[in-house]
Structure 1
Amino acid sequence: MNFWQRLFESTERQFWVCHTAGWLGFGLIYYFGSFLHDMRSVWLFVIMLNVYTGWLITIPLRYVYRRVWRLEPWRMVLVALLAAYIAAVIWAVLRNINYWEIYKHGYRPDEWVYYFSNIVHSFTVILCWSGLYFGIKYYRLLQQEKQNALKATTMAHQAHLKMLRYQLNPHFLFNTLNAISTLVLVGETKTANGMVSRLSDFLRYSLDKDPIKKVPLDQEIQALDLYLAIEKVRFEDRLTVQWDIADKTRQALVPSLILQPLIENAIKYAIAKTEQGGMISISSKQFGQDLLIEVADNGPGADIQNGMLRRNHGVGLPNIRERLQSLYDNNFSFTVSHNEPSGVRVSIRIPFQVDQDGK
């Protein structure tokens, strides 16, 4: 945090800095505005006294304005004008004393009106001070409201992202628990124990990783290994996985658990639909300034229109698109196409980013 940020980090400090700087600025303008009138040091001393008395007199106004801030507008304006006028009269009297007693060396004018000749000027200056006070206070209030609105929007955005990701977990959990139950019933306790262990590790990863933050692709691959190891227990030799991960992409940042729903869809609609099973291929490569990730299967295929699947009641792919939209705005692409010779291919393009530890 630099000097100016520290200087203005508290409201109290902001007031004293602005209050003092404003009165010093008034003194400089007043002095140079009357420079040709008198260049003697006594005139500078009088101006300094006037600035100091004005600085003192306007301090109580701050506390008066604080109390009237939440009143009805007309009441607030009325009280502020009255307080400013009282402060202006007191300041005008003190300015007269400084002028006649110090600058004029005790000279007394014949007409008393000269003692009040600068009330209008004093009232104008006090009104300017009051206007700046209310203006700065109102500006700070608007900024605070903007920050609160931004914070609320951010919290809602984060909650939405968490909902999108955690909405997918029950589907996988339901299928896995059914498989474990089946293994226990047929006496495959060793296999069931291994499956429970992998499930525990996968769920721990799922819960530990914040869906708002991005993680290296290598961590996602490790999580997918756990997930696929669980699914291989269910499908045995019917499930084949092919990896093609470019080494330079392993540290690229991706949204946590962004690929798991794609693998889940491929297993549900490609592997589970055919008796002989099938293969899922997962690849990643750097394409210019982007990271390209593809998940493909060789299943029976699907109805695809405008780059999206035509399936009822599916939440996986729409959720992925919404997460990518929330995290990358429009700087991404998410398309579904036909795989050759059969099956479905899902392609994700996001900006190629690497965290500081991975650089």
Structure 2
Amino acid sequence: MIHGLKLFDDRERQFWVLHTGGWVGFALIYYLGSFLHDMRSIWLFVILLNAYAGWLITIPLRYVFRRLWRLQTWQMVLAALVCSYIVGVIWAVIKNINYWEIYKHGYRPDEWIFYFSNSVNSFSVIVCWSGLYFGIKYYQLLQQEKQNALKASTMAHQAHLKMLRYQLNPHFLFNTLNAISTLVLIKENDTANAMVSRLSDFLRYSLDKDPIKKVPLEQEIQAIEMYLDIEKVRFEDRLTVSWDVAGEARDALVPSLILQPIIENAIKYAIAKTEQGGQISISAKAFGRDLLIEVTDNGPGAEISNGQLQRHGGVGLSNIRERLQSLYGNNFSFVIAHNAPSGVKVSIRIPYQVGQDANQD
């Protein structure tokens, strides 16, 4: 199957296969249609000779027709019919020679070379050949245009995803650098140095991962833990994190750094808003064909309407929806709701995929 597809990937090879196969089919159909007329091998020889002549004289038509694409439609059709008629007449003459000289052993009527009893049939066959040529050529051009459009769409899609992903980093980087600056000012050099080291590890992970590709949730967890280590330097005991990730969910593929802006949002509006701090809980599990992820906090909460936050200045949540839309179409959900007894709960549902499933997509 794969070899057959590769065979037709090369247009030059495709032409010769179809061209030869078409004339072989013509000879077979013509012989079977006249089988009762004559079963002698000489009749089969004449048919094969006629088919070979047709195969040979239609090859120049291909190169003539290539030049006709530059003409207007009516000019192209008219020129193709004229060329087909000329080739049809030549083929009819060749068939007459084969018939009278070989099959009839030299017997021929007066003016036998211009005896065009089969000229209409010859012209019809050449017109069919021409029609098939233009039809296949048009189909190839149409497929090429579709491939070009798809390639352009894919490139735009990838650029859009990268833009969305990298829009998230400045928020986090700005906050972290401010925290490091504060630590330096208050002479907490060891803490500042540890924070710089963790920031370096996190940014290296962020830049190494292609936002177009998905990563196992296990890797995403490791990245989030690096991020949380940085935030714990800022908030110390005020920030508590709990994890509840099922074993089968750890191998599931997720968009890289899809959780970081959610957790950053929780820190900004839940942990940082209260003196005693709070807790962020992250859970993930497989349910049927879906992967369910939840991030909750026990902060003061927020105004929520139709599953969306009604506050300004949220970090990257709208970008998350756009990334999920780009990657999964309509096969996802991204809902923000009130958490009980307080806080915000963010729920994500995406298709459950592992490495092999993603390759099949």
Tell me whether the two structures share a fold, i.e. TM-score over 0.5.
Answer: yes
Alignment of 1:84-233 (within 5 A): 84-110=84-110, 112=112, 115-233=115-233
Separation in 1, partners of 2:74, 2:343: 73
Task: Name stretches of at least 5 consecutive residues in structure 2 with no aligned partner.
Answer: none
Partner of 2:348: 348
The yes-or-no answer on 1:243 pairing with 2:235 is no
Q: Distance in 2 between matches of 1:272 and 1:185?
A: 21
Alignment correspondent of 2:24: 24
1:273 Cα deviation after fit? 0.9
CA distance in 2, matches of 1:351, 1:112: 75
Partner residue of 1:52? 52
> Residue 263 of structure 1 corresponds to which residue in structure 2?
263
Question: 1:262-288: per-residue Cα shift (whole Å, max 9, x none)?
Answer: 101001101111122111111112223
Asked if the contact 2:161/2:211 (under 8 Å) is kept, the reply is yes
Equivalent AA in structure 1 for residue 50 of structure 2: N
Which secondary structure state, in structure 2, belongs to the residue aligned with residue 345 of structure 1?
strand
Cα deviation, residue 322, structure 1: 1.7
Tell me the equivalent position of 1:43. Answer: 43
Q: Structure 1's 316 and 245: CA in aligned 2 closer, same or farther, altered over 3 A?
A: same
In structure 1, C-alpha distance between the alignment counterparts of 2:102 and 2:180, rounded to whole Å: 98
In the alignment, the residues of structure 2 paired with residue 281 and residue 51 of structure 1 have an alpha-carbon distance, to the nearest angstrom, of: 77
Question: How many angstroms apart in 1 are the aligned matches of 2:2 and 2:339?
Answer: 56
Structure 1: give runs of 5+ residues left out of the alignment.
none
Aligned residue for 2:336, secondary structure, equals strand
Amino acid at match of 2:193: N
Percent identical residues: 79
Q: Within 2, Cα distance between the matches of 1:356 and 1:29?
A: 48
Cα deviation, 1:6-40, whole Å, max 9, x if unaligned, reads: 32120000000000010011111111111121111
Change (3 A) 1:24 1:357: closer
For the Cα contact (< 8 Å) 2:211–2:255, is it kept in 1?
yes
Could you tell me which residue of structure 1 aligns to residue 332 of structure 2? 332
Distance (whole Å) between structure 1 residues aligned to residue 274 and residue 314 of structure 2:
20
Structure 1: how far apart are the matches of 2:268 and 2:170? Answer: 14
Query: Residues 337 and 344 of structure 2 are in contact (CA less than 8 Å); yes or no, is this contact kept in structure 1?
Result: yes
Q: Secondary structure of 2:211's partner?
A: coil
After TM superposition, give the deviation of residue 315 of structure 1 in Å: 5.4
Q: So what's the TM-score if we normalise by structure 1?
A: 0.95
CA displacement 1:155-181 (0-9 Å, x = unmatched) = 222222212111111100111111111
2:7 match = 7
The TM-score, its normalising length taken from structure 2, stands at 0.95
Is the Cα–Cα contact under 8 Å of residues 93 and 113 in structure 2 kept in the other structure?
no
Letter in 2 for 1:223: A
Q: Residue 61 in 1 paired to residue 58 in 2?
A: no
The one-letter code matched in structure 1 to 2:120 is: V
Once structures 1 and 2 are overlaid, which stretch shifts more, 171-180 or 144-153? Answer: 144-153
Counterparts of residues 64-83 of structure 1 (less than 5 Å):
64-83=64-83
Structure 2 counterpart SS, 1:327: helix
